[in-house]
């Protein structure tokens, strides 16, 4: 029974995530229009065409009215959200709520970063500030109020400072070498926030978490870059135009630590 509720919650939140991903960076309202509409023909999407996963498959990823293709990201979000909610399961209810909240925000950040970095309206991928603020507040509220652990509360702040400074220095070094910005401010704040969301009780564990996140995200980043370079060259585009959304890579590093 519990797992059915978790899956349903994941499906609903996954579906809502696509609304947020496509509305927040463009300054659209989250609540209006209440019913989603087709981005092309503006026709309202009926409730029976808005059932997570099923509707996308039945309509073969197209709008019922104008036949325009609906981005695959809608389907991906509706599938991965419930899967991640199941994978993150923990019998400690508060910790479980904390973990799925963190991962949900990371999903929003990652997909917003991907969608905006593919959109020419934006110079590079963007991370809405509100998500970063929530990601910093969540671990502070969790350790401060739920777990009431003052020492760990201070460690959380130290973790943020360490992650932030490390990526700040790395980004400054790369700016000198590459003579261009390779990382956004959002990515730098994101690493600080992500570190706070992992479990650690001393400096050694903090260092270990930080190293693991950096290793996982570097591997993901390099693989993404190679795939993009291949596809850019195939299309005859300049490889200098490649903009790697780094937030999904950092998020995967964090996800790894939350699931194990
Ligand atoms: Zn349409």
For range 211-237, the mean pLDDT: 89
Residue 217 in contact with residue 256, Cβ under 8 Å? no
42 alpha carbon – ligand 1 mean position (Å) = 6
Residue 248 in contact with residue 220, Cβ under 8 Å? yes
pTM of the full predicted structure? 0.91
Q: What gap in Å lies between CA 209 and CA 188, rounded to an integer?
A: 16
Nearest one of 40, 39, 21 to 30, comparing CA atoms: 21
Q: What gap in Å lies between CA 66 and CA 59, rounded to an integer?
A: 12
Residues measured by CB to lie within 5 Å of ligand 1, the ion: 38, 40-41, 63, 65-66, 68
107 alpha carbon – ligand 1 mean position (Å) = 26
pLDDT in tens, 149-164: 877 889 999 999 999 9
Burial of 72 (0-12, 13-18, 19+ CB in 10 A): exposed
pLDDT at 97 over 90: yes
pLDDT in tens, 68-86: 998 899 999 999 999 999 9
Position 236 confidence tier, pLDDT thresholds 50, 70, 90: confident
For range 195-200, the mean pLDDT: 93
Position 183 confidence tier, pLDDT thresholds 50, 70, 90: confident
Distance of alpha carbon 165 from the chain centroid = 21
Residue 140: the pLDDT is: 93
Of 27-36, 225-234, 239-248, highest mean pLDDT = 225-234
Residue 210: the pLDDT is: 94
Which token pair is 131?
Answer: 């998500």
**What phi, psi does 227 have (nearest 5°)?**
-65, -45
45 alpha carbon – ligand 1 mean position (Å) = 9
Long-range CB pairs of 44-47 (<8 Å, 24+ gap) are none
Nearest one of 259, 144, 166, 163 to 206, comparing CA atoms: 163
pLDDT in tens, 136-150: 999 999 998 888 887
Residue 232: the pLDDT is: 86
Residue 242: the pLDDT is: 76
All structural domains of the chain with their residue ranges: 1-87, 93-260
121 alpha carbon – ligand 1 mean position (Å) = 22
pLDDT in tens, 25-67: 888 777 777 677 887 888 888 888 888 899 999 999 999 999 9
37 alpha carbon – ligand 1 mean position (Å) = 8
Q: What gap in Å lies between CA 214 and CA 129, rounded to an integer?
A: 22
Angle between helices 93-118 and 73-87 (to 10 degrees): 160
The lowest-confidence range among 179-188, 204-213, 248-257 is: 179-188
Position 174 confidence tier, pLDDT thresholds 50, 70, 90: confident
Secondary structure of 33-98 in HEC code, one letter for each residue: CCCCECCCCCCECCHHHCCCCHHHHHCCCECCCCCCECCCHHHHHHHHHHHHHHHCCCCCHHHHHH
Burial of 140 (0-12, 13-18, 19+ CB in 10 A): middle
The lowest-confidence range among 11-15, 58-62, 119-123, 137-141 is: 119-123
């Amino acid at each position: 029974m519990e797992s059915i509720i978790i899956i349903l919650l994941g499906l609903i939140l996954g579906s809502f995530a696509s609304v947020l991903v496509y509305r927040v960076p463009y300054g659209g309202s989250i609540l209006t229009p209440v019913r989603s509409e087709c981005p092309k023909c503006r026709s309202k999407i009926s409730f029976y065409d808005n059932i997570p996963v099923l509707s996308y498959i039945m309509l073969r990823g197209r709008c019922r009215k104008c036949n325009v293709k609906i981005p695959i990201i809608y389907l991906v979000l509706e599938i991965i959200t419930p899967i991640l909610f199941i994978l993150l399961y923990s019998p400690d209810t508060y910790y479980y709520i904390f973990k799925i909240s963190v991962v949900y925000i990371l999903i929003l950040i990652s997909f917003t970063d991907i969608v905006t970095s593919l959109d020419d309206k934006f110079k590079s991928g963007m991370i809405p500030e509100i998500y970063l603020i929530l990601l910093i507040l969540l671990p502070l509220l969790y350790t401060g109020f739920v777990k009431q652990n003052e020492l760990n509360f201070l460690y959380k702040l130290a973790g943020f400072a360490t992650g932030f400074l490390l990526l700040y220095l790395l980004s400054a070094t790369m700016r000198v070498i590459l003579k261009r910005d390779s990382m956004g401010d959002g990515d730098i704040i994101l690493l600080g926030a992500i570190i706070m969301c992992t479990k650690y009780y001393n400096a050694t564990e903090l260092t270990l978490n930080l190293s693991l996140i950096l290793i996982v995200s570097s591997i993901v980043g390099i693989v993404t870059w190679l795939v993009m370079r291949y596809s850019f060259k195939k299309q005859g585009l300049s490889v200098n135009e490649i903009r790697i959304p780094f937030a999904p890579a950092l998020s995967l590093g964090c996800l790894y630590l939350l699931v194990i």
